[in-house]
Structure 1
């Protein structure tokens, strides 16, 4: 990964696990497949809506809009 290494191997995680990791103070980044490799995307942060529900969103980067959670691959568990 262009000199970068992950502290924990990239893996799919339910949103609640990501929220818990962020609450512990962990840094969480998105990972995208690019040309057969996993590449780190933007960091994720915890958000709370008006009703008090917790969720996540990507942290905007100054270099442009970049990738968002909507760009992550989807798995059908149906």
Structure 2
């Protein structure tokens, strides 16, 4: 089963994440099917291809809780 999840990148104590489509049981730093974008929690910046994410969700990929929060629009 495929999942949309965060893959950790960056230096120690300066983590950033790639949003990837990967096998649900694969390692977090392992192989992935498609790279959908990135997320930096320190600066709260992100760039995610929401059209491709919607395509993968429509085709059965399950987003993790954190990715689902990133994909939904924020309200202030």
TM exceeds 0.5?
no
TM-score, structure 2 normalization:
0.27
TM-score, structure 1 normalization:
0.27
Higher percent of residues as helix: 2
